[in-house]
């Protein structure tokens, strides 16, 4: 289901966590576009060695990441 409205909880979450992707619609079929926008925006905002995008159902073990 593709929803074109933003719920109050989504707005609250974006403010609370300072989400920098403000102008997209949350929809399963738009995940690849969201990923592309995330990485292009992150690269333009921050100079980092690597970038990681995870969802709320993903656990990242920092101890298992290489130290570079």
| Contact present, 60 and 54 (Cβ < 8 Å) | yes
Is a pLDDT exceeding 70 seen at residue 9? no
The mean per-residue pLDDT over the stretch 52-57 comes to 82
Is a pLDDT exceeding 90 seen at residue 8? no
For the record, the structure tokens of 25 come out as 């619609």
Give CA–CA dist 41/12, Å, rounded.
Answer: 21
Q: What is the pLDDT of residues 20-42, one digit of tens each?
A: 676 667 777 888 888 888 899 88
Report the pLDDT value the prediction gives residue 44, as an integer from 0 to 100. 92
Is a pLDDT exceeding 60 seen at residue 67? yes
Give CA–CA dist 39/44, Å, rounded.
Answer: 9
User: What is the CB neighbour count within 10 angstroms for residue 18?
Assistant: 6
Is a pLDDT exceeding 80 seen at residue 19? no
| Contact present, 14 and 37 (Cβ < 8 Å) | no
């Amino acid at each position: 289901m593709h929803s074109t409205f933003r719920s109050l909880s989504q707005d609250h979450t974006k403010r609370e966590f300072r989400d920098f992707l403000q102008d997209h619609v949350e929809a399963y079929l738009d995940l690849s576009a969201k990923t592309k926008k995330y990485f292009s925006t992150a690269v333009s905002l921050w100079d980092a060695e690597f970038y990681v995008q995870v969802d709320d159902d993903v656990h990242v073990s920092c101890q298992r990441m290489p130290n570079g």
